[in-house]
Amino acid sequence: MKDMTGDVAPYFKTEPGPPEIHLEGNRLVMTCLAEGSWPLEFKWMLNSTDITSFSPEYKYTIRSLQPSNIGFYQCVVRNRMGALMQRKAEIQVAYMGNFVESEQRKTVSQGKAAVLNSPAVSCFPQAQVTWFRDGYKIIPSSRV
């Protein structure tokens, strides 16, 4: 949108895509590609709360992703013609915590079933569990 002085309101060249999953500890750089009459100023929001103030910096960098960085990021661009908010970009962080429980010991009579619980582990996405006996992978069957 132009006014009589030839000024152009800010507009985005790209919009965020589907949710992105990044590995814990990795660096993430988000960019806000916008155009319009200069000077343009940018700010970033996480879950609708400001995480930066307006500045000429159109990039937002997280040096080492942590589960606390999960959420919906949004760029806001402004110039003297107005401000515009970008669609939210969902960022998820894949991580694997440590096992919470220690070893389990069960005593059962011969021929009876023993039920072992999967150890609790904090992670995203959901962990896939593989059981081993004496160092060999247990292949699931009607018995196991």
Residues 84-107 have pLDDT tens digits of 999 999 999 999 988 777 677 888
Q: Which two tokens stand for residue 85?
A: 């908010």
User: Does the pLDDT value for residue 9 go beyond 80?
Assistant: yes
User: Does the pLDDT value for residue 2 go beyond 70?
Assistant: no
Superfamily of domain 11-95: Immunoglobulins (2.60.40.10)
Q: Are 90 and 22 in contact (CB under 8 A)?
A: no
Residue length of the chain: 144
The residues spanned by each domain of the chain are: 11-95
Q: Which residues of 33-49 are buried (b: 16+ CB within 10 A; e: fewer)?
A: ebebbeebbbbbbbeee
pTM of the model: 0.78
